[in-house]
Amino acid sequence: MAYQAPMKDMLFVMNELANLEGVSQLPGCEDATPETAEAVLEENAKFVTGMVAPLNHAADKEPSFWKDGTVTTSKGFKEAFKQFAEGGWQGLQHPTDFGGQGLPKLIGTPCVEMLHGANLSFALVGLLSDGAIEALLTAGSDEQKATYLEPLVTGKWTGTMNLTEPQAGSDLAAVRSRAVPQGDGTYKVFGTKIFITYGEHDMAENIVHLVLARTPDAPEGVKGISLFIVPKFMVNADGSLGARNDVQCVSIEHKLGIKASPTCVLQFGDNGGAIGTLVGEENRGLEYMFIMMNAARFGVGMQGVGLSENAYQQAVTFAKDRVQSRDVGGSAGPVAIINHPDVRRLLMNMRSQTEAARALAYVGASLYDAAHHSLDAAVRAENQAVYEYLVPVIKGWSTEMSQDVARDGVQVHGGMGFIEETGAAQHYRDAKILTIYEGTTAIQANDLVGRKTVRDGGKVAKGLIAQVRATAGQLAELQGEAFTAISKQLEQGAADLEAVVDYVVANTKANPRAVFAGSVPYLKLAGLVLGGWQMGRAALVSQQKLSAGEGDKSFYEAKIVTARFFADHFVSQSSGIRSSIIEGSAGTLALDVDLF
């Protein structure tokens, strides 16, 4: 069975945990009623499951390919992107002024999750366009907006992000691409960019490259980087396409996964210079690029959730279908393997992590909406701060978790999982990029430590921890083993996270190497405790619904079980992680480089 949109869980999280009702009362979000949300999700699910999901496995087997500077994308991608554009899906969260639908992030997020869940390689092109749109909305001139936004928002054109260079990796201080002003308001851009996702393809008429480069007198380091628009085809005043610009795709990478998405090496200016225009002000490129990056980081977190959901669904289908070996309890004959306790454990691992990460991300999306639409500046600022704390956790934790989930998915399949035809292995391969691009997990964790924890003295983190404790307290008042178990683990998790936050705040300045040696474990701990908190909240709501006799009884019972599993098997790791962070840095850092 191909990927199906997990509508029930998505709507539950939106309505019960992420306050969709509240979002729909924000100025500008009035159309985002729960009814509209459900209708949009259903329409999106139809498109995604009908058109995009079926291409995923075939495209992995016959990836996009390069020939003589052009890239031919996998079979079906071009037509699917046409329908994606026509359906208005690219513009879902973008302003109506430029052809978008202007819906809140809380509605856009599940749609993005579906698209990525169904077909990561395909969905990437839209993710990159989203980033380009965000950057132009923030920093583009009126003319740039008028020229580029509508075609990008409507999916007529696509966008790219050009950061990485061969010598530079994630280190933008090392960017060497040059942009030389021509005196007419344009620049000639020269340089080589690598790892450019959809840097060349055949799915849209034009490609809008956003490129980091240095002007001739720019200072060294990250303070001398500017952002340029370099279109594949020049754009005439009437919006029609002009001459081919001097940017060439000289090769694409042979990758472990997401094979259908072309990862390009782009050569700018080999034939006289690629013509570009400056976005915003000179030397502020990094700042603008971070706008794209932050949108993209949240999106990559959703890739983790979507991929996990797909891997989970596939493993469940296999485990229900595959009959093998007797039950350890002693059945007469062989049973479907879903009955074997360890297969059950693997599936619950996959299910509970996916649900926890989804809930945390949707709550993040809701905070974003409040941060952008509330009339009250204090409310906006408060929500923005919490959202920003969560972004590296959503990106880093959801993607690391997706690799565990994909691995468990292969394991459920046994030997069949290792054979490419089942598709389980594709998730395992595809997932590996998620902890690397748009900033590795370590880069997310550095952000979490530096900008998100130390800078405000742990205030936002402590606020979240207080909420975790409040949820634990409410759970403790309920009758039933499951609630007691969740409450206990959340109390401990909150205490462990608090201890780590205190440690980070107290030690980063004096001993940065020790703190950063534990930054990724801190990020993981935050993901487990905050994800567990959302699952605890879900259990509370579910119990209320059950007590009131409302809704789908099985769904709520399952939610309580899943929340308990997550608490017992994931939140329970908190004390070990705390001790690794607080006591473990000496061992991490002691060895001389020569001894490795």
Site for a second copy in 39-98 (CB under 8 A): none
Considering only 183, 216, 272, 329, the residue that binds a second copy (CB under 8 A) is 329
Considering only 176, 345, 451, 455, the residue that binds a second copy (CB under 8 A) is 345
Q: Where are the alpha helices (DSSP H) in 66-207?
A: 77-86, 105-118, 120-139, 142-144, 150-153
Site for a second copy in 455-484 (CB under 8 A): 481-482
Q: Is 38 a catalytic residue?
A: no
Residue 111 CB contacts under 8 Å (≥ 6 apart), including other chains = 40, 41, 44, 89, 92
The window from 78-86, 231-239, 469-477, 561-569 that contacts a second copy (CB under 8 A) reads: 561-569
The window from 86-94, 133-141, 387-395, 506-514 that contacts a second copy (CB under 8 A) reads: 506-514
Considering only 116, 188, 232, 351, the residue that binds a second copy (CB under 8 A) is 351
Considering only 339, 366, 383, 543, the residue that binds a second copy (CB under 8 A) is 339
What's the Cα-to-Cα distance from 466 to each of 320, 358, 390, 534, rounded to whole Å? 41, 21, 15, 13
Q: From the candidates 200, 400, 438, 491, give the one annotated as an active-site residue.
A: 438
Q: Which residue, 37 or 500, has its beta carbon nearer to a second copy?
A: 500
Per-residue binder mask for a second copy (CB under 8 A), 289-318, x = binder: ---------------------------x--
Site for a second copy in 224-283 (CB under 8 A): 253-257
Site for a second copy in 405-424 (CB under 8 A): 407, 410-411, 414-421
Question: Sign (positive/negative) of CA torsion 87, 75, 399, 586?
Answer: negative
The window from 103-111, 119-127, 431-439, 456-464 that contacts a second copy (CB under 8 A) reads: 431-439
Closest separation in Å from C-beta 407 to a second copy = 6
Q: Which residue, 94 or 214, has its beta carbon nearer to a second copy?
A: 214
Amino acid at 587: G
What is Dmax (Cα atoms) for the chain? 84
Q: Is 197 helix (H, G, I), strand (E, B) or coil?
A: strand
Q: Which residue, 219 or 576, has its beta carbon nearer to a second copy?
A: 576
Residue 151 CB contacts under 8 Å (≥ 6 apart), including other chains = 157, 205, 206, 208, 239
Considering only 28, 242, 341, 457, the residue that binds a second copy (CB under 8 A) is 341
**Interatomic CA distance for residues 20 and 9, integer angstroms:** 14
What's the Cα-to-Cα distance from 171 to each of 166, 167, 583, rounded to whole Å? 11, 9, 30
Considering only 36, 440, 467, 474, the residue that binds a second copy (CB under 8 A) is 440
510 counts as binding a second copy under rule CB under 8 A: no
The window from 70-78, 229-237, 343-351, 456-464 that contacts a second copy (CB under 8 A) reads: 343-351
503 counts as binding a second copy under rule CB under 8 A: no
Kindly report the number of other CB atoms within 10 A of residue 580's CB atom: 20
Angle at 45 between CA 41 and CA 46, to 5 degrees: 120
Burial class (CB in 10 A: 0-12, 13-18, 19+), 141: middle
- With CB under 8 A as the rule, give the number of residues binding a second copy: 105
E strand or H helix at 484, and its extent? helix 481-507
Closest separation in Å from C-beta 514 to a second copy = 8
CA dihedral 38, 43, 48, 54 (to 10 degrees): 120
Considering only 343, 361, 390, 391, the residue that binds a second copy (CB under 8 A) is 343
The rounded Cα 167 to chain-centroid distance in angstroms is 26
Closest separation in Å from C-beta 326 to a second copy = 8
Closest separation in Å from C-beta 374 to a second copy = 36
Considering only 23, 26, 207, 445, the residue that binds a second copy (CB under 8 A) is 445
From 197, 408, 389, select the one nearest 314 (Cα to Cα).
408
**Interatomic CA distance for residues 90 and 186, integer angstroms:** 29
Closest separation in Å from C-beta 439 to a second copy = 10
Entry field: residues in the chain: 596
Q: Which residue, 32 or 346, has its beta carbon nearer to a second copy?
A: 346
Pairing of strands 157-162, 206-213: parallel
Cβ–Cβ < 8 Å for 527, 360? yes
Q: Is 432 helix (H, G, I), strand (E, B) or coil?
A: coil
The window from 70-78, 100-108, 146-154, 569-577 that contacts a second copy (CB under 8 A) reads: 569-577
Closest separation in Å from C-beta 114 to a second copy = 20
21 counts as binding a second copy under rule CB under 8 A: no
Q: Which residue, 204 or 249, has its beta carbon nearer to a second copy?
A: 249
Considering only 325, 331, 544, 547, the residue that binds a second copy (CB under 8 A) is 325
**Interatomic CA distance for residues 329 and 200, integer angstroms:** 57
Q: Which residue, 335 or 385, has its beta carbon nearer to a second copy?
A: 335
Q: Is 240 helix (H, G, I), strand (E, B) or coil?
A: coil
**Interatomic CA distance for residues 391 and 356, integer angstroms:** 15
Closest separation in Å from C-beta 497 to a second copy = 14
320 counts as binding a second copy under rule CB under 8 A: yes
- Supply 119's token pair: 């077909």
**DSSP annotation string for 320-349:** HH-B-S--TT--SS--BGGGSHHHHHHHHH
583 counts as binding a second copy under rule CB under 8 A: yes
Backbone angles phi, psi at 178, to 5 degrees: -115, 150
Considering only 485, 497, 501, 504, the residue that binds a second copy (CB under 8 A) is 485
User: Hunting for tokens 């072309």 — which residue is that?
Assistant: 262
Closest separation in Å from C-beta 460 to a second copy = 22
Closest separation in Å from C-beta 498 to a second copy = 18
565 counts as binding a second copy under rule CB under 8 A: yes
Kindly report the number of other CB atoms within 10 A of residue 138's CB atom: 13
Considering only 7, 436, 476, 546, the residue that binds a second copy (CB under 8 A) is 436
Closest separation in Å from C-beta 202 to a second copy = 23
Backbone angles phi, psi at 193, to 5 degrees: -120, 140
Considering only 28, 50, 69, 169, the residue that binds a second copy (CB under 8 A) is 169
**Interatomic CA distance for residues 463 and 469, integer angstroms:** 10
Closest separation in Å from C-beta 519 to a second copy = 6
Cβ–Cβ < 8 Å for 260, 59? yes
499 counts as binding a second copy under rule CB under 8 A: no
For 542-589, give the secondary structure using H, E and C.
Answer: HHHHHHHCCCCHHHHHHHHHHHHHHHHHCHHHHHHHHHHHHHCHHHHH
Q: Which residues are identified as catalytic?
A: 438
